Amino acid sequence: ILAALKSQGLKPSGPWFMHLLSIDRDLFDFYLCVPVTEHVLSTGRVEAHVLPAMRAAQAIYRGPYDNLADAWREFDAWMRANGHQPAAERVQRYLTGPESMVDPAGWETELTRPLES
């Protein structure tokens, strides 16, 4: 992805993220994404996508990536307890991680879940 951006004279405009379309035991369907401020031409496996405006809930998880599944479960439980119905897809944006600090206790991941109601 970064090589495709560089070849087009573009740079990321923020932290990379995953747009997770579906997750189950047999299928983990997602896009690995890098935000940009200008249009990207499709090349190879790199495609341009725009996330639509949506009503969503967000939370910040602090800690190692090993515990992200637990963070999602806790976040989903909070949404349901507060009368929200989360959609199947989700966005996981990596604000800080191993590239910026060694101690995983300080890593921050933004969890975003579109809401159906």
Residue pLDDT, tens place only, 33-81: 999 999 999 999 999 999 889 999 999 999 999 999 999 999 999 999 9
Strand 56-62 relative to strand 108-114: parallel, antiparallel, unpaired? antiparallel
Computed from CA positions of residues 35, 6, 31, 51, in that sequence, does the dihedral angle turn out positive or negative?
Answer: positive
Percent of the chain surpassing pLDDT 90: 88
Quick one: which H or E segment has residue 77? helix 68-81
Integer Rg of the chain from CA: 16
Name the DSSP class of 81.
H
The two tokens of residue 75 are: 């976040």
The two tokens of residue 35 are: 């935000």
Average the pLDDT over 4-23 and give the result.
94
